[in-house]
Amino acid sequence: MEAVKPQDRAPTRRVGVVQMRCEPDPARNLRHAQDAIGDAAREGADVVCLPELFRTTYLCQSEDPSRFDWAEPIPGPSTEALSKQAADLGISIVGSLFERRAAGLYHNTAVVLDAEGRLAGRYRKMHIPDDPLYYEKFYFTPGDLGFQAHRTEAGMLGVLVCWDQWFPEAARATALAGAEMLFYPTAIGWQFDEGEEIDGSQREAWKTIQRSHAIANGAFVIAVNRVGHETLEGAEGDGIRFWGSSFVSDPFGRILATAPDDDEAVLVVECDLGKVERTRRDWPFLRDRRIDAYQAIGQRFVDEPSARSKTPAERRAATGEDGAGSL
C-alpha cells in the first residue's frame, strides 16, 4: 500500500476574520466582537482573529496619560470572556489587547486562546511606531517575548501586530519558530489630509508586503484591520479613516478573500495547510538560506560601503585564528 504523504495528511482549516468598527465604549466593542466571532463559528471557523486593540477606539492618535486607564491585565476581563467563548464554541481565538503588565509598564499584546479556552500564548508587539496619529511609543513598551508559534487545534499560529507587518525579519523569525499561519491584527488607515494617490499607494504597499511574507515563508497570511473614521480628543487633524481591506493570502501570495474598505465584514476562508508543505518543497527558501552570511542583519547599518558579511572561515582567516602559517 502506498504511504500517505505528509502534505496529504495536513488538514484544511477555516479561518475567520472579523473586520469591525470600534467605538469609545469597551463593553459594546467586546459584545460586538463576540457576536462576530459567533457568526464566524456558525460558518465553520476553526480560528477567528480580531483587529488590533479592538476594545477601544485607536488610543494612540494623541498622547494622553489618562488613557493608561484603558489597559487591563492578562489574564483579565477580556481574556476571561474570550476564553469562555472559545471553549463554548470549540474554536481558537486571536485577540489584541492593551496590556497592563505593572504600574507604568504597558504592552500592545496579542493573545492566542485554544479551543479549550486555555491561554495558548501571547505575543507583545516588537516594532513600535511613532508617527503622526500613531504615537504608540508613548503608550507601549517594546515586546520581550520574541517571535513564537503557538500550538492550537487549528494549527501552528504565529501572531504579529500591525507595524510588525512591514518587517520581513519578523515574519521570517516567526515562520522559523514553526508558524504555518501568520496573523496580523491591525489598525491602519489614512489621514484625511493625504491625497487620494498617496492613499491608494499606501494600501497597495500594505497588501504587497504581507503577500511577500506569505511567499518568502511558505505560510498563510491573515491581515485583520478595523474600519471606519475615528477621532479622539487632542488629536491633530480630522482623525484616521481606517481602510479595512482585511484579507487572507495563501503561501503563493494569492489573495483568497478580502473585505471591503468601507464596511464591516466577517470572512471565513478555507486554508489547506497542505499547501505549506507543498510550497516549501517547491520553493525551498528555508533550505537555501545562507545563515552563515547574514551578520549584517544584526547591525543597525553597515557604515562602511565596501564592507560585506564574512563567513566564519573568512573571519578566522582574517584574524589568523585558523592557525595558518603558525609554527
Sequence-distant (≥ 6) Cβ neighbours of residue 32 within 8 angstroms: 20
Q: Model-level pTM greater than 0.75?
A: yes
User: Which residues, given as ranges, of the chain have pLDDT below 50?
Assistant: 1-9, 307, 325-327
Residues that are catalytic? 52, 125, 162
Q: Which long-range contacts (CB under 8 A, 24 or more apart) does 131-138 make?
A: 132/191, 132/236, 132/237, 133/60, 133/61, 133/62, 133/191, 133/235, 133/236, 133/237, 133/239, 133/240, 134/60, 134/61, 134/163, 135/60, 135/61, 135/62, 135/63, 136/60, 136/108, 136/163, 138/60, 138/63
In a domain, 304, yes or no: yes
Residues 300, 185 share a domain:
no
Q: Residue 94 to residues 172, 302, 306: CA-CA distances in angstroms? A: 20, 37, 45
Residues 247, 121 share a domain:
yes
In a domain, 64, yes or no: yes
Residues 149, 82 share a domain:
yes
Residues 18, 73 share a domain:
yes
In a domain, 3, yes or no: no
Residues 159, 271 share a domain:
yes
pLDDT in the model for residue 195: 61
Question: What digits encode the pLDDT tens for the residues 186-203?
Answer: 999 998 766 666 768 999
pLDDT in the model for residue 326: 43
Residues 116, 130 share a domain:
yes
SS3 234: coil
In a domain, 1, yes or no: no
Residues 310, 191 share a domain:
no
Instruction: Please give the residue range of the domain that contains residue 316.
Output: 290-327
Residues 312, 271 share a domain:
no
Residues 168, 316 share a domain:
no
pLDDT in the model for residue 321: 65
Number of domain units in the chain = 2
In a domain, 296, yes or no: yes
Question: What digits encode the pLDDT tens for the residues 219-240?
Answer: 999 999 999 999 998 888 899 9
In a domain, 137, yes or no: yes
Residues 219, 90 share a domain:
yes
Residues 265, 314 share a domain:
no
Residues 256, 189 share a domain:
yes
pLDDT in the model for residue 6: 42
